[in-house]
């Protein structure tokens, strides 16, 4: 039996429908690389075009715009927001109307961990060090960690996740050599932390994404094993210098629950020398020699994408200010 709908929910769905229609009307086919077509009576994109670009069903999106009582997940709203090119305030408004908590993405590492923690990370160089949350998101890191783990430093903040990179990159490109012994423990720690966040959209979507994209993660997650963080020895591989053995220590941070600073210490003198060699590489390759790309090339591409997005956002707002 369907649950009764309150007047507030009805008003919110009506507002959501109008908001989506207005945002859709301002995006032209040319904005998303589609041909304009003939006899377009719809200002902006059609509903079916938004659904296609967002990877959702046409019927589902039509019902969403009609204000029908349907459920919308974080993943789907993110996809729709991306197609409609919503900025942060607009995304927050979309989430609020859909009845889903919105967590704004921080603008900088300093906003997340504070300047004092950033200074401590910098002072720990040449020891690699990073601040991780219980979901293995890299909240901040120092220069040595970024050289050691470039895959979590050259991507957008929401992609800076150690577990996701370990489970989804090709094995030849993986940074950790002893993944067979390390990954089960890391998943067990994630499962232990998950108990405090069951039902939260960010956690549920993260776990679901990893289960879908990595059969190994799905297998380890299904085991139900749990574990607490502890000291480990991790063997890293960098194709410019070879392997580096590092022991880890996790330190709590005042005022940051479920966060820890992880410091990596060389196991032997030769590992310390390997770190110095790695830090001296002028333009390291991210990934293996077969699939990898020079860091300078990746950073240049990232800068170009950022500039393009800024221009698109600026151009998009010009008509609205007239």
Strand partners, 251: 261
In this structure, the answer to whether residues 144 and 49 fall within a common structural domain is: no
Which among 73, 104, 135 is the end of a domain?
Answer: 104
In this structure, the answer to whether residues 76 and 98 fall within a common structural domain is: yes
Q: In 5-20, which positions are buried (b, 16+ CB within 10 angstroms) versus exposed (e)? A: eeeeeeebbeebbebb
In this structure, the answer to whether residues 78 and 193 fall within a common structural domain is: no
Confidence label for 227 from pLDDT (cuts 50, 70 and 90)? very high
**129-133 and 259-266: which strand pairing?**
antiparallel
How many degrees, rounded to 5, is the angle at CA 312 between CA 309 and CA 316?
140
In this structure, the answer to whether residues 29 and 146 fall within a common structural domain is: no
Q: Indicate yes or no: pTM above 0.85.
A: no
In a domain? residue 303:
no
In this structure, the answer to whether residues 264 and 162 fall within a common structural domain is: yes
Q: How far apart are CA 51 and CA 60, in angstroms?
A: 8
For residue 3, what pLDDT is reported? 52
Q: What is the pLDDT of residues 40-97, one digit of tens each?
A: 776 788 899 888 888 888 898 898 888 887 777 777 888 888 888 887 778 888 888 8
In this structure, the answer to whether residues 89 and 138 fall within a common structural domain is: no
Q: Residue 87 has which token pair?
A: 């900025």
Q: Does residue 98 or residue 248 have the better pLDDT? A: 248
In a domain? residue 309:
no
In a domain? residue 316:
no
DSSP reduced 3-state for 108: coil
In this structure, the answer to whether residues 89 and 169 fall within a common structural domain is: no
Q: How far apart are CA 312 and CA 293, in angstroms?
A: 27
Who's near 6: CB < 8 A, 6+ residues apart?
none
Closest among 83, 27, 31, 74 to 55, alpha carbons compared: 83
DSSP reduced 3-state for 129: strand
For residue 319, what pLDDT is reported? 44
Q: How far apart are CA 24 and CA 49, in angstroms?
A: 10
- How does DSSP assign 231-272, residue by residue? --EEEEEETTTEEEEEEEEEEE-TT-TTEEEEEEEESSHHHH
The beta strand positions in 156-209, using DSSP E, are none
**How many domains is the chain partitioned into structurally?**
2
Confidence label for 201 from pLDDT (cuts 50, 70 and 90)? low
Confidence label for 143 from pLDDT (cuts 50, 70 and 90)? very high
Write the CATH number for 84. 1.10.260.40
Q: How far apart are CA 220 and CA 239, in angstroms?
A: 28
In this structure, the answer to whether residues 141 and 199 fall within a common structural domain is: yes
Write the CATH number for 146. 3.30.450.180
- Three-class DSSP labels, 281-298: CCCCEECCCCCCEEHHHH
Q: What is the pLDDT of residues 271-300, one digit of tens each?
A: 999 999 999 998 888 888 888 888 888 878
In this structure, the answer to whether residues 256 and 127 fall within a common structural domain is: yes
CB contact at 8 A, 142 and 109:
no
Determine which of 103-107, 158-162, 172-176, 299-303 has the lowest per-residue pLDDT on average: 103-107
In a domain? residue 302:
no
In this structure, the answer to whether residues 81 and 187 fall within a common structural domain is: no
Phi, psi at 251, each rounded to 5°: -120, 135
**What is the extent of the structural domain holding 238?**
111-291
């Amino acid at each position: 039996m369907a649950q009764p709908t309150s007047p507030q929910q009805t008003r919110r769905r009506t507002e959501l429908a109008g908001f989506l229609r207005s945002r859709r009307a301002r995006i032209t086919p040319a904005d998303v690389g589609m041909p304009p077509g003939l006899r377009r009576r719809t200002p902006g994109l059609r509903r079916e075009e938004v659904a296609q670009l967002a990877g959702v069903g046409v019927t589902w999106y039509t019902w969403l715009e009609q204000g029908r009582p349907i459920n919308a997940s974080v993943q789907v709203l993110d996809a729709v927001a991306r197609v409609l090119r919503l900025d942060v305030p607009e995304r927050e408004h979309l989430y609020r109307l859909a009845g889903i908590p919105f967590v704004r993405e921080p603008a900088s590492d300093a906003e997340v961990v504070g300047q004092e923690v950033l200074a401590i990370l910098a002072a720990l160089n040449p020891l690699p060090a990073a601040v991780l949350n219980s979901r293995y998101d890299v909240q901040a890191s120092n220069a040595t960690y970024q050289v050691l783990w470039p895959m979590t430093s050259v991507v957008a903040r929401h992609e800076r996740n150690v577990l996701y990179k370990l489970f989804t990159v090709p094995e030849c490109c993986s940074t950790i050599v002893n993944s067979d012994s390390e990954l089960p423990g890391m998943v067990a720690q994630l499962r232990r932390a998950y108990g405090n966040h069951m039902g939260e959209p960010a956690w549920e979507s993260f776990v679901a994404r990893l289960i879908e994209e990595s059969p190994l993660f799905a297998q380890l997650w299904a085991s139900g094993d749990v574990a607490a963080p502890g000291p480990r020895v991790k063997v890293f591989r960098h194709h410019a210098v070879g392997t580096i053995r590092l022991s880890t220590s996790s330190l709590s941070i005042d005022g940051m629950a479920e966060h820890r600073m992880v410091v990596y210490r060389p196991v032997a003198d030769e590992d310390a020398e390997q770190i110095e060699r790695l830090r001296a590489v002028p333009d390291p390759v991210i990934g293996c020699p077969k699939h990898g790309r020079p860091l300078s090339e990746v950073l240049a591409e990232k800068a170009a994408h950022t500039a393009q997005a800024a221009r698109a956002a600026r151009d998009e707002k010009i008509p609205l200010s007239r």
